[in-house]
Amino acid sequence: MSLINYISVVAMPIVIFIIIGNALREKVAVFDLFLKGAKDGLEIVLKIFPTLIGLFVAIGMLRSSGVIDFITSVVSPITNFFMPNEILPLAILRPISGSASMAVATDIIKMNGVDSFIGVLAAVIMGSTETTLYTIAVYSSSVKIKKTRFVLFASLIADIIGVIVSVIIVSKMFN
């Protein structure tokens, strides 16, 4: 374990030295390139900022309106056969919002424990799924793509499969 800790401590300085060494070898103005990259990054942020604001407002409204609780109560009779009820809000929120799903996962782990079946399942779902709607909205708005229905469909199927496979794998581990 000490080797992994050592590698994690020295990795970034080594990468920085490699970049600077390569730039000196090829006689490239590193700081000028850095400033250009920072300027380009700010332009991208300004392009996607309205989309981010809209997403954050929509997520806040979704969480505070009780829609998630309603969806959970409607869907839970179907999902009870293969997934615990405590995980359902996380599975619903994960494709929508990373921060909301992190809050739900934290609550699940606090209530059930880190080493419990449900706690491990929440952690695996967090690692095996993506904030699909957020990612699609940010990337498609930055490159001005309007038609995202096929990307959305494929991504949501991947999230569903991620949740199902997480339940299967964690169930096998705990049996």
Structure tokens at 133: 């709607």
- Whether residue 34 has pLDDT greater than 70: yes
Q: Provide the pLDDT for residue 116.
A: 92
Task: Inform me whether the pLDDT recorded for 41 exceeds 70.
Answer: yes
pTM here is 0.66
Q: Is 42's pLDDT higher than 80?
A: yes
Higher pLDDT, 175 or 15: 15
pLDDT tens digits, one per residue of 88-131: 889 988 988 787 888 888 889 999 998 899 999 999 999 998 88
SS (H, E, C) the chain: CHHHHHHHHHHHHHHHHHHHHHHHHCCCCHHHHHHHHHHHHHHHHHHHHHHHHHHHHHHHHHHHHCHHHHHHHHHHHHHCCCCCHHHHHHHHHCCCCHHHHHHHHHHHHHHHCCCCHHHHHHHHHHHHCCCHHHHHHHHHHHCCCCCCHHHHHHHHHHHHHHHHHHHHHHHHHHC
Q: Check pLDDT > 90 for residue 19.
A: no
Q: Where are the domains of the chain?
A: 45-174
pLDDT of residue 1: 61
Task: Read off the amino acid at residue 142.
Answer: S
What local confidence, expressed as pLDDT, does residue 92 receive? 87
34-60 mean pLDDT:
83
User: According to the model, what pLDDT value does residue 101 have?
Assistant: 85
Question: What is the spatial distance between Cα 86 and Cα 145, in angstroms, rounded to a whole number?
Answer: 36
* Neighbouring C-alpha atoms within 13 Å toward the C-beta of 154: 5
More confident residue, 10 or 134: 10
pLDDT band at residue 36 using 50, 70 and 90 as cut-offs: very high
Which is more confident, 144 or 92? 92
CA atoms of 161 and 158, how far apart (whole Å): 5
| Cα–Cα distance for residue pair 131/92, rounded to 1 Å | 11
Which residues, 6 or more positions from 51, have their beta carbon under 8 angstroms from its beta carbon? Answer: 137, 138, 141
